[in-house]
Structure 1
Amino acid sequence: MSVRALLIYLCLAAPAFGQGFAGLGTKAEGFSVPQPGIALNFPADHGPHPGYRIEWWYLTANLQAADGTDYGLQWTLFRTALAPEERAGWSSPQLWMGHAGLTSRTQQFVAERLARGGIGQAGVTAAPFAAWIDNWQMAGRAAPEADALSTLDLRAAGQAFSYELTLDAKGQLVPQGVQGYSVKSGKGQASFYYSQPFYHVTGMLTLPEGAIAVTGRAWLDHEWSSQPLAEDQTGWDWFSLHFDSGEKMMGFRLRDEGAGFTSATWISADGTPQPQAPGALRVTPLETAIVAGRSMPNRWRVELPEKEVDVTTRALNPQAWMDTRFPYWEGPIRFEGSHTGRGYLEMTGYK
């Protein structure tokens, strides 16, 4: 298949691809739909689920250089399917997209890769774990008795930047929602969703000014579904927070014409998840900035009264715009108030 034909093929899948936002609320006839009460199964669930229409392996990292300079890093592999099956070679209905981002206080670097399934250019294996698209890789080095995601080597490169990191998990996998069944709307849309939020990171960034040694913390999400949004939901605001006290929190708001739908999971320092009731999380935009020609929040108030959380976030770089096929905002944040710490914020669907 020619490059031009491949691009046409990918465009035909646009409503379902990656973060097509409104397209994530379309019907998915013939695809599997997440159901409650199904236990996650590892290591098999680290791999792809071709019977579901949409899936992603999503890593973000808060990093620091020896001089205290902050950086943020993203590595994402998206899978979307034109049909609920797998076939060999060029007949595969699986499409893949990779995003790499690197954020500093003054710069945002972005790269994107597109690939077809079935020909080895991109894919994921469960054990030993490996995720790749072209020469971008997230490769597991776990000991035989350890979880397949417990140790990872990560690399990607784009115009004027690259990174190579080692990630070591210091805690357990965390199911999101109720045992991995994460509800996304009052109408019942849902996904299967778990995280590994306990990575310690070491490695090197390469920027125009040279190589920079960094350390920090990373958070990996793996999520799959077929219709994760309701038809009236247009995008989301997603937070992953590392508290200096050792706890962590994942929370999101899915936006609609009303108050939206919020969900959160409190994660104790020992990795025990405590899913919160829908609506328990409150997120309020406090300040906006013009980003890529659109007004977007760059400072938030995040509240979880059940855990006495009331913090204000601020972006390391308010212009952390991922100018990709489906553009969105993704970048590192700091927060202070009832708790202090660092984390990551993703905002999609803003026009």
Structure 2
Amino acid sequence: MLARLVVILALALLAARPAGAQGFAGLGSTAAAEGFATPSPDTRLSFPRDHGPHPDFRIEWWYLTANLTGPDGTDYGVQWTLFRTALALGEAEGWASPQIWMGHAAATTPQHHYFAERLARGGIGQAGVHSDPFEAWIDGWQMAGEDFDSLRLTARGAEFAYDLTLSAEGPLVLQGVNGYSVKSADGQASHYYSQPHYRIEGTLTLPSGPVAVSGQGWLDREWSSQPLAADQTGWDWFSLSFDSGAHLMGFRLRGARGDFTSGTWIAPDGSATPLAPGAFQAAPLELADVAGRQIPIRWRVTLPERGLDVEVSPLNRQSWMGTRFPYWEGPVRVTGSHAGRGYLEMTGYE
């Protein structure tokens, strides 16, 4: 009970800061980032080391989304995310640890969206990450394996559970330039890489019972200390996998001075080409009432240099994560010049 109270209080203090001065969930706060490490374009990522935590940086996450299909052809979506946030520099044992962990898990069907949240304090064994062999956990939720190419993923909420195996069928992808991903005209950035090539099989358990599922997964790893500019209020992030075998990661960061967009084109062989700021374009086509908010749930996404002009539509419009920092997160379908499936995350819609 004490652990939960400590974590809730810390998160509440972060959330109490004016949104316009810090961006979504405090990610644009210059004051909070003071003293922490800053991403550098000269850094070269190293594995398996960088699969693990980076306590010199204030914020990071391990984030898996999956498009799955059942035996009868029904489509499903699954999300698993572990966040680490440092309240102060340095390490300490037990309750003195400044590390706060937060886990989100979700399962989406065409009719329902289920989600759960877990909170933990670092230093007491309730949550953490090891790089080799890889293990990320919070309470009973776990992503683990001998290496990053072969993982088992588990989570359980009040109305859903899943137990999935992930097998990489392609290389890791460094986002931006060598894993240095710029997020604003002011130069805010993160270290960012992905594994968009997971083949997934396992069991998804819903109120109606267990379902054998299979499909594709995309895992993102990102860390920074201030990934947003102070005026950026949120983002629209797309991870799209096309029937051709190519992939596209693109994001639109919304700010008082206009949008900042960027992304990466990933060829079927896994080779990645970073996109120049502004090359990726995403425009809302339709708004829907979601949790009392107007959310852009249907989009036109264009990338002229690749001949891409597609419509992105949700499997379930009501894919709202009613967590302490609420956001929209769900599986999407892609039609137009390229066909495929993917995931869409939208934050900062108050």
TM-score tier, shorter chain, comes to over 0.9
8 Å contact from structure 2 (residues 56, 90) kept in 1: yes
Q: TM-score, normalised by structure 2?
A: 0.96
For 1:173 and 1:13, the matched residues in 2 are separated by 33
Q: Please tell me whether residue 23 in structure 1 is matched to residue 26 in structure 2.
A: yes
Q: CA deviation at 1:98?
A: 0.1
Could you tell me the percent identity over the aligned residues?
64
Q: CA deviation at 1:66?
A: 1.0
* DSSP 3-state at the match of 1:234: strand
Kindly provide the CA deviation profile for residues 239-294 of structure 1, in whole angstroms up to 9, marking residues without a partner as x: 00000000001000000134300001000111101001000001000011000001
Q: Matches of residues 2-41 of structure 1 in structure 2 within 5 Å?
A: 2=2, 3-14=4-15, 21=24, 23-27=26-30, 28-41=33-46
For 1:286 and 1:258, the matched residues in 2 are separated by 22
State the aligned residue count.
343
Q: CA deviation at 1:10?
A: 4.0
For 2:169 and 2:23, the matched residues in 1 are separated by 33
Which segments of 5 or more consecutive residues in structure 1 lack a partner in the other structure?
Answer: 142-147
Q: Please tell me whether residue 169 in structure 1 is matched to residue 168 in structure 2.
A: yes
Q: TM-score, normalised by structure 1?
A: 0.95
For 2:257 and 2:288, the matched residues in 1 are separated by 23
Q: CA deviation at 1:53?
A: 0.4
For 1:253 and 1:174, the matched residues in 2 are separated by 20
* DSSP 3-state at the match of 2:232: coil
Amino acid at match of 1:54: I
* DSSP 3-state at the match of 1:25: coil
Q: CA deviation at 1:91?
A: 0.9
Kindly provide the CA deviation profile for residues 14-72 of structure 1, in whole angstroms up to 9, marking residues without a partner as x: 479xx971511111111001011210011100000001000000000000001110000
Partner of 2:234: 235
For 2:264 and 2:250, the matched residues in 1 are separated by 6
Q: CA deviation at 1:112?
A: 0.2
Cα 1:15–1:178, aligned 2, differ >3 Å: closer, same or farther? farther
Which residue, out of 59, 63, 76, partners 1:58? Answer: 63
Partner of 1:324: 323
Amino acid at match of 1:178: V
Q: CA deviation at 1:12?
A: 3.3
* DSSP 3-state at the match of 1:66: coil
Q: CA deviation at 1:8?
A: 2.2
8 Å contact from structure 1 (residues 172, 196) kept in 2: yes
Amino acid at match of 1:246: G
Amino acid at match of 2:195: Q
Amino acid at match of 1:36: P
For 1:275 and 1:44, the matched residues in 2 are separated by 23
Kindly provide the CA deviation profile for residues 134-172 of structure 1, in whole angstroms up to 9, marking residues without a partner as x: 00000113xxxxxx2100000000011100000000000
For 1:245 and 1:177, the matched residues in 2 are separated by 22
8 Å contact from structure 2 (residues 7, 119) kept in 1: no
For 1:6 and 1:199, the matched residues in 2 are separated by 33
Q: CA deviation at 1:84?
A: 2.1
Partner of 1:113: 118
Kindly provide the CA deviation profile for residues 178-234 of structure 1, in whole angstroms up to 9, marking residues without a partner as x: 000000000000000000000000000110101000000000000000000001100
Q: Please tell me whether residue 69 in structure 1 is matched to residue 70 in structure 2.
A: no
Amino acid at match of 2:229: A
Amino acid at match of 1:11: A
8 Å contact from structure 2 (residues 23, 29) kept in 1: no
For 1:13 and 1:118, the matched residues in 2 are separated by 21
Give the RMSD, CA atoms, in angstroms.
Answer: 1.4
For 2:276 and 2:16, the matched residues in 1 are separated by 30
Q: CA deviation at 1:88?
A: 1.4
Amino acid at match of 2:116: A
Q: Please tell me whether residue 83 in structure 1 is matched to residue 83 in structure 2.
A: no
Q: Matches of residues 234-253 of structure 1 in structure 2 within 5 Å?
A: 234-253=233-252
Partner of 1:314: 313
Q: Please tell me whether residue 274 in structure 1 is matched to residue 273 in structure 2.
A: yes
Partner of 1:145: none
Partner of 1:144: none
